[in-house]
Amino acid sequence: MQEGYGAFSYSRSHVQKVVEYVMNQEEHHRHKTFMEEYEQFLKQFEIEYDERYIFKLPE
């Protein structure tokens, strides 16, 4: 079960798609992991990052 959350800003015209995404996260993450999606967002929004400081999954 998820213990935290994150958010990216979207325009008002995308609110319904964001709501649908949140409602279907469990199914969505069966196809793409949180880490894969998080890195995709960073690249999509051209956010520079150092991999040393990216979330680490529990071992």
For the chain, the structural domain boundaries read 12-53
> What is the token pair recorded at 28?
């969505």
pLDDT band at 3 (very low <50, low <70, confident <90, very high): low
pLDDT band, very low/low/confident/very high, at 13 (cuts 50, 70, 90)? very high
Alpha-carbon distance of 41 to 43, in angstroms, equals 5
pLDDT at 7 (0 to 100): 65
Q: State the Cα–Cα distance between residues 19 and 42, nearest whole angstrom.
A: 20
Q: Is the per-residue pLDDT at 37 higher than 60? A: yes
Report the pLDDT averaged over residues 12-35. Answer: 84
Q: pTM to 2 decimals?
A: 0.51
Tell me the residue length of the chain.
59
